[in-house]
Amino acid sequence: MNRRRGAAGVVTLLICTVMLMTVSACARDDEITRWTGVVTRLLAARSEALASGDEDRWRATTASSGSIDDRELSAFASLRALGVTSLTLQRVISIVSGSAGEATAVLEIGYAVPAVDRGQRTARRTVVLTGGLATPVIRSWLAPSDPLEVFDLVGMAVTQTSAGLLVTPSDPKAVPATGEVTWPDLLGSALQRVATAWSDPQSTLVVVPRNLADFARLVKRSTAVGAETIAAVTEGARSAGSVALTDRLIMNPVVAQSLTAEGVKVVLAHELTHVYLRRTSAQELPTWFSEGLAEWTAYQDVPVPLASRWAAAIERQRTEPTWPQTLPNEADFRTDSPEFALSYVIAELTVTELASRTSIHGMFDQLMPTGGTTAITTEVVLAAAGTSEAALMGRVRDRMLSVARESSP
């Protein structure tokens, strides 16, 4: 009897606990739903402001229309200049409501730059809401830990070029292009080089930020430390089995200042090749192959003798005649790898060697149909080229030897 009552007591207690949990969970869910509705409405209001060019409407979504944060106002101007007319809520990562009618929402929002994007780009935002559920406004929509989107940059100008949209500081002295050449000219001739090697490169969004800190945040690095070694980055998400739709080409302004005009063109053409390949191939290519194709394209018709461009690799082979035995692997291309610089040379030499015996375009077209489901591995590439890694590396060594011989007096 006691025992049964005891058992019943446990059951009652369990039901209460479950009910309590349900009630509190319901309350939380309800609040999250309401704040989600708030965010959706505020983004819709911002979209309407963008579509109609109504800056006051945009201001009305912010906490203080008098002392609005520079970044938020310039975001309105930048989004307008980029032609963006819609901001959508794609995903709520978390919403934490605090006291005094505030809430912090970590979200993914979607937007597209019509001239260059072929789909929605996802941007992470930490949005601080204030004013409660009754009169909600956005206090800020970017935390220091959020990666920057191009429209977060302050004081930028958008220029329509033959290669797509170019975003540079509005003060041309902030990041001057090299010599007398302008950024649109550099980009135009870089695109020309890619167009000669590959058919129909599409419009791209190219960004030259003001400083290294902005560059690091645009390319999603947590710190600017180490970013000075990277000349440029092609940045964008892609889902497995799908081509990249919203890549950005981000140029390191510090490196740009240290290069000749030809050097900047090589960097831009290298990245534009990545953009082209990522828009064409639904699968990632092996790193040596994509870097090799980008280098091979970027250096077409560059009037610098191979012996001086490949000097470091030739010197390494002189002291180590059996090097290289294998293709550079993924880790060799990391900026902190001792093989970093030479890996690019070997990748370019390998693609140059492939191109001397087979049509690179034919090979690339042949690889494409496998893109949907089958990973494009090194083995798949080598099979398409009808060679083996050992044979190919032997030819790469021979080519370096002959370049060294031709250049020696």
Q: Which stretch binds Zn ion (CB under 5 A): 110-118, 125-133, 200-208, 284-292?
A: 284-292
- Burial class from Cβ neighbours inside 10 Å (0-12, 13-18, 19+) for residue 54 reads middle
- Residues 193, 300 contacting (CB under 8 angstroms): yes
Query: What residue number has its CB nearest to Zn ion?
Result: 294
3-state secondary structure at position 95: strand
C-alpha dist (Å) from residue 232 to 220, 252, 311, 372: 13, 5, 23, 28
Residue placing its CB nearer to Zn ion in the complex, 183 or 344: 344
Length of the chain equals 409
Q: With the CA atoms of 333, 234, 161 and 163 taken in that order, what torsion angle do they form, in degrees rounded to the nearest 10?
A: 70
Q: Does 266 bind Zn ion (CB under 5 A)?
A: no
Residue placing its CB nearer to Zn ion in the complex, 123 or 233: 233
Q: Residue 274 Cβ, how far from Zn ion at the closest point, in Å?
A: 5
Residue placing its CB nearer to Zn ion in the complex, 113 or 294: 294
Q: Segment 285-304, which members bind Zn ion (CB under 5 A)?
A: 291, 294
C-alpha dist (Å) from residue 72 to 67, 77, 206: 11, 9, 21
Q: Residue 291 Cβ, how far from Zn ion at the closest point, in Å?
A: 5
Phi-psi region of 277 (alpha: psi -120 to 50; beta: other; left: phi over 0): alpha
User: Interface mask (CB under 5 A) for Zn ion, residues 350-379, using x and -?
Assistant: ------------------------------
Q: Residue 295 Cβ, how far from Zn ion at the closest point, in Å?
A: 8
Q: Residue 365 Cβ, how far from Zn ion at the closest point, in Å?
A: 21
b vs e for 61-95, b when ≥16 Cβ sit within 10 Å of the residue's Cβ? bbbeeeeebebbbbbbbbbbbbbbbbbebeebeeb
Neighbours of 389 (CB within 10 A): 15
- Residues 39, 89 contacting (CB under 8 angstroms): yes
b vs e for 300-333, b when ≥16 Cβ sit within 10 Å of the residue's Cβ? eeeeeebeeebeebbebbeeeeebbeebbeeebb
Residue placing its CB nearer to Zn ion in the complex, 295 or 353: 295
Q: Kindly calculate the radius of gyration of the chain based on its CA atoms and give it in whole angstroms.
A: 27
Number of residues that bind Zn ion (CB under 5 A): 2
Q: Residue 345 Cβ, how far from Zn ion at the closest point, in Å?
A: 13
Q: Report CA 77 to chain centroid distance, whole Å.
A: 22
Q: Which residues contact Zn ion (rule: CB under 5 A)? A: 291, 294
